[in-house]
Amino acid sequence: MFVNLNSTRLCSVVQPARIDFHFSSHCWPEKKMESVGMLSRILARSATPRLLAVRSFRTSAPAISSAIAEGPERDTKNFPRQLRPIQPGKVRMGFIPEEWFELFYKKTGVTGPYMFGVSFLTYLCSKEIYIMEHEYYNGLSLAILCIIGVKKLGPSVAAWLDKEVDTYEKAWEQGRVQQLEDLKSAIEAEKKEQWRAEGQSLLFEAKKENIALQLEAAYRERLMNAYAEIKKRLDYQVETQNIDRRISQKHMVNWIVSNVLKSITPQQEKDSLKKCIADLKALSATA
């Protein structure tokens, strides 16, 4: 009994973790079986930790693959890099690839592959290359039990494993979406900070103008202070000259008066006094 271990479901989970290395085809067969078996679900369940590790490594895979520089001698058109397909290849009887049957169609027709298989088994059994001893019947019984188990329990187990895979896939998707949301929020925050920085430039210009006005006010204030101090000193000089002139004038008047008084004799003073009295009498008579 051959069970498909490369199911479509498991392949869809493992496929995002693919890194386009040229040696990946040796680790994963290119031709996968069509039927989905119970053991494939168990393999998907057991391979979950590895898938998580591979998925975490996938974030740097495009950078690694894109960083590989192709040489000028490589023919990428006729010999491109091998890519693992998302869907497995078609199979018959649960494990025989469809390409094997198509290989016989051109030579033997539709019944050729089946006749070849029957003839080959007949040859093995007739030549006793494959001996049907008691282990053969035990294996046949075990295969029948496995087929019955897969047919009976396979759908329910497959549904449960699909649910588990969906849960893991949803968790990964949520993590990716959350990371994208965080990055978008970071971009919006950065744009907002850039907008604020542009506002800071306007604020800087306003502060520069304010400082220039303050400097102009301080300059005008100091200019007025200098004008007031100079005016005080000039007024002091003018007042000093005026006082000097008045003192000089008073001194001159007093000197002249004193000298005139000294030049008048007592007789001249008496004559002058008499003349004044006579003038007054004459004025009073005429009045």
Give the torsion through C-alpha atoms of 18, 22, 27, 29, to 10 deg.
90
Mean pLDDT of 151-173: 89
Rounded CA-CA distance 71/118 in Å is 49
pLDDT at 284: 80
pLDDT at 246: 92
List, for residues 227-248, the tens digit of each pLDDT value.
999 999 999 999 999 999 999 9
- Give yes or no for residue 87 having a pLDDT over 60: yes
CA angle 66, 68, 70 (to 5 degrees): 110
- The letter for the amino acid at 197 is A
When the pLDDT of each residue in the chain is averaged and rounded to a whole number, the result is 76
- Give yes or no for residue 273 having a pLDDT over 90: no
List, for residues 196-215, the tens digit of each pLDDT value.
888 888 888 899 999 999 99
Rounded CA-CA distance 140/211 in Å is 98
Q: Which of 52-61, 64-73, 226-235, 278-287 has the lowest mean pLDDT?
A: 52-61
Please state whether beta strands 91-92 and 96-97 pair in parallel, antiparallel, or not at all (unpaired): antiparallel
- Give yes or no for residue 5 having a pLDDT over 50: no
List the one residue out of 3, 1, 16, 2 whose CA is nearest residue 165: 16
Q: Which residue has the higher pLDDT, 275 or 122?
A: 122
